[in-house]
Structures are given as C-alpha cells and as structure tokens.
Amino acid sequence: MINDPLVSILIPTYNREKFIEETLLCAINQTYENIEIIVVDNRSTDQTANIVKSYTIKNPKLKLYINENNIGPINNWKKCLELSNGDFIKFLFSDDKMTMDSVEKLLFPMLEDQQIGFSFSSVQMIDENGKFIEDAYIQKKTGNYPSDVFLYGNLSGALSLPVSPGCALFRRENVVKAMGRDWDNINIKCFNNGFGPDLFIFLIACVEYGRFHYIKEPLSYFRSHSESISILSQRIDLSLGRRCYRYPYSLLLKEKISLLLSRRIKTMLLIVTLFSRNYFENSKLNQYKKMVFPEKPFKNINLLDLKIWQYIIKRYFRLISLSVSKWFLN
C-alpha cells in the first residue's frame, strides 16, 4: 500500500561471512514490502562485504556501506541509523535470522495503536548450524502491556524480557534519542560492546510511550556461537550482564520522568544491587552510589512500596522455578 510507512532494517556487520547470507535473505524476502535494508560493514577482514555486494546488484532496497576504519560496534549501529530513512527501525544482527513475516507482524500493532512504543516477539536460540537450543522471552500471551511491566520486570529480573533490540521493532525517534548519547565517554567498559545501549532503546521507548506489544510466536532467531559478542564477553566476565544492565536504568534517572518512576527505579536499583552476587567496587552500597546521583543517593527511596516487592518476589519465584527445571532436566 502507498501509505505504508518505510521500515529500515539495519544490519551492522563485521566478519560474518559464515552467516551473513542467511541474514540477508531474511531481510530481502520480507512480506512487508516498503522496506530499506542498510548494511554497514565495519571493515571486515573476510568476505562479508563481497557477499553483501553480490546481493545489492539484484536488490535495489539493499544498500551496502563500508567504513574506512573499524569504528566499534556501537558507532557502527549509529552509522546504520544515520544512513537510514525509515519511520520504524528493525535491527537485524548479522549472525541472526528472522521469519519472513517478522516486520509485518511487529509493525501492525504499532500502526493500530499510537501509544505502543515498540513491539517484540519471543525468540528461539539456535547454534551456529541453526539447531534449536532453547526458547527465550516467553510471556503468558500475545497482546499489549503497560510499559511499567517492561521497566520493572526487566530491572528486577522477575520476567524474561529482552535487552537486545534484535527481536523488536521501534519508532525511529526513540532509537535516535537512545543512540544519541555519547556512549564512548561513559566509563562503563561493557558499553563499548553494546551491553547497555541496547537495553536503553527499550527504556526510552517505555518512558515516551504508555504500552508495548508482545507476540508469543517466535519471529527471531538468535545465534549462539563461539564468536558472538555475548559468548565472547561471558568468557571475560560471567557477571557482565548483571552488571551492565543495571546502569542504563541509572541513565534513565537523568531523563524527564515522573517522581514515582524515579523513586521506584532508585529503590529497585538499591534492592537488586544489594541482592546481587558480584561486587563492582569494594562494596555493594558503593556500587549503588556510583549508579545514581552522587549527591543524596538515598533521597526518595521507598522500601515500603508494595509494587516493588511484588516484582522482587516474582524474581525469586522465577529463579527457583528455573533451578528446579534445570535439576529435573539434568
């Protein structure tokens, strides 16, 4: 249809000659027609760029750009965004896949309801050969949910919710705002690999919009292999995810948000940090103080907020359930 909005599929890539063809075909063969596919190669040393170039000849919607130098993962995401024109943004990482109707199914609810900031689906984890490993991001049912569910469910760990934008569709303005931060100068090492900036896109969309849409059917496939960013990072530090994904919430405190939301985030950050296993500094309280404003870090804390404790309790029920499931499987 003529009035269908343009969707930009962004594929940042580096040395993915083994997987890039499958990824490209997923994008090229989408059932939703009004798309552009932006591939930015971060100066690969293998055949990735040549493989993509061979597909641009017959696919005018596919554009390839090659950086003069390797600018790092996050700046490469930004480059993809800068070169795109879509009203909606779909990240597709170059070792992952998605169903042919992924864009169509993620987009439709957002066109129906202008208060939906983003939509995402459940995910199937696959190995480097495409073999199924496990399901991820499973909620009770498909539908619209209040943004608070994502904010508190993710921070507390009470719900299985995404941090990677690879399974989601966003409105352009939210991605622009989230990626517009100077991530290079934030002194959090893991941010350089994308751990933190990815979640921040979701958080900004939650603050700007009242709802998100969830699709229980898996529309994305995340590949777990020896060279994936998540696996490489876990080799360095197993607690990396737990550390990095609390910090985007501290950045959210600097946005224009309600006093109630600010209070709940600060309180939940304190509780989750105190209950965590790892130490970022010499004490957990210092770790918390580093995340929130240095002056008056305990101002507006409300440890009697029942909403917060509902999510904290759900978190431990979920952890117990996962532990029991693993015990039975073993």
Please say whether the beta carbons of 34 and 11 come within 8 A.
Answer: no
The predicted structure's pLDDT at residue 329:
58
The predicted structure's pLDDT at residue 216:
97
The predicted structure's pLDDT at residue 1:
45
- The widest CA-to-CA distance across the chain, in whole angstroms, is 62
Domain segments of the chain: what residues?
Answer: 7-244, 254-329
For the domain covering 7-244, report its CATH number: 3.90.550.10
- For residues 188 and 176, give the distance between their C-alpha atoms in angstroms, rounded to a whole number: 21
The predicted structure's pLDDT at residue 296:
84
The predicted structure's pLDDT at residue 218:
98
The predicted structure's pLDDT at residue 292:
86
The predicted structure's pLDDT at residue 184:
80
- For residues 129 and 255, give the distance between their C-alpha atoms in angstroms, rounded to a whole number: 42
The predicted structure's pLDDT at residue 36:
98
pLDDT tens per residue, the chain (330 residues)? Answer: 447 999 999 999 999 999 999 999 999 999 999 999 999 999 999 999 999 999 999 999 999 999 999 999 999 999 999 999 999 999 999 999 999 999 999 999 999 999 999 999 999 999 999 999 999 999 999 999 999 999 999 999 999 999 999 999 999 999 999 999 888 888 777 777 778 899 999 999 999 999 999 999 999 999 986 665 554 444 444 455 566 889 899 999 999 999 999 999 999 999 998 888 765 556 888 888 888 877 788 989 999 999 999 999 999 888 787 777 666 655
For CA atoms 230, 233, 234, 237, the dihedral sign is: negative
Determine the 3-state secondary structure of 41 from DSSP. strand
Residue 217 falls in which region: left (phi positive, over 0), alpha (psi -120 to 50) or beta: beta
Q: What is the pTM of this model?
A: 0.93
The predicted structure's pLDDT at residue 210:
95
The predicted structure's pLDDT at residue 282:
62
Query: Would you state the structure tokens that stand for residue 39, as one six-digit string?
Result: 């591939």
